[in-house]
Amino acid sequence: MPQCYVTIDDSPTPHTSALCDFLYNHRIPALLFIRGDMVKTYGDKALIDAVKKGFILGNHSMTHRPFGDLSYEECIDEIEKTEDIITGIYKKAGVARPRRYFRFPYLDRGNGDRIERHFEKSNATDINSHPKVVALQKYLKEKGYSQPFQCNHPVYKNSSIANAADCLMTFSSFDWMLLDRHKGQWPYQSIGDLKRRIDEDQMLNEKGITSIIIMHDKPEPEFPPVFESLIDHMVIKGYEFLSIL
Ligand SMILES: [Zn+2]
């Protein structure tokens, strides 16, 4: 049975409570990477409830700008402000804070390279040469950030991925491509297309291989059915959803 971790980027939105309830009812654990600006817009109530239900919060920066566009100091400010918000949410929930997790917006780790676009080329994820990437990795490690995944996916054999302080992924659902504002501009244009993509990904369906999936949390009204259909599809296919600590 294929195994996977579910991670969700860009929370909170007006749908966060419903999406977390949906996952909770399916007994699917998830790690939510939250944006500070979205907490300011939509409040922290849904995230407090999520933490109480056992969901884990990670840091996805304050304003979701690509870190390649920011100075090192601006990057640190983005991380620290969001960290304070997360600490506050755990305190309000009365839940002990687990380890710290961080995911770069657009998976741009500071050099302007959005690895999501060419993840299969693992040499694009070098964290050992670009000065800002190196400095950010050092900062994250010193502050105790790590990845919670026990991942045996082939791309994780690349040591710069396995040893990274930030959280990466092995499969992006591309759920956002079905938002009205994106529809028609990308190769996947229907739920059927995205389900087929899941079915056709060899590693995602390989017995004994662990995958890390990116889903999103988007405020648009058309989004929740996309999210729920894709999760339902994986449930029907018999995926095992691993817990995140
Ligand atoms: Zn994001």
Residue 47 maps to which CATH number?
A: 3.20.20.370
How large is the angle between the packed helices 223-236 and 191-200, nearest 10 degrees?
30
- CA 238, CA 236: separation in Å to the nearest integer? 5
pLDDT in tens, 119-140: 555 555 667 788 999 999 999 9
Query: Across all residues in the chain, what is the average pLDDT?
Result: 93
Range of the domain at 69: 3-241
**How many domains in the chain?**
1
What are the backbone dihedrals phi and psi of residue 135, each rounded to the nearest 5 degrees, phi first? Answer: -65, -40
63 alpha carbon to ligand 1 midpoint, in Å?
10
pLDDT in tens, 72-115: 999 999 999 999 999 999 999 999 998 999 999 999 999 888 76
116 alpha carbon to ligand 1 midpoint, in Å?
11
pLDDT category at 116 given cuts 50, 70, 90 is low
148 alpha carbon to ligand 1 midpoint, in Å?
18
Beta strand spans in the chain (E): 3-11, 31-34, 56-59, 171-172, 210-216, 240-241
Which ranges of 53-190 does DSSP label H, i.e. alpha helix?
72-93, 131-142, 159-162
What are the backbone dihedrals phi and psi of residue 212, each rounded to the nearest 5 degrees, phi first? Answer: -120, 115
Neighbours of 104 (CB within 10 A): 28
54 alpha carbon to ligand 1 midpoint, in Å?
22
According to DSSP, residue 112 is labeled: S
- CA 175, CA 223: separation in Å to the nearest integer? 8
228 alpha carbon to ligand 1 midpoint, in Å?
19
218 alpha carbon to ligand 1 midpoint, in Å?
10
Q: Which residues surround ligand 1, an ion (CB under 5 A)?
A: 9-10, 105
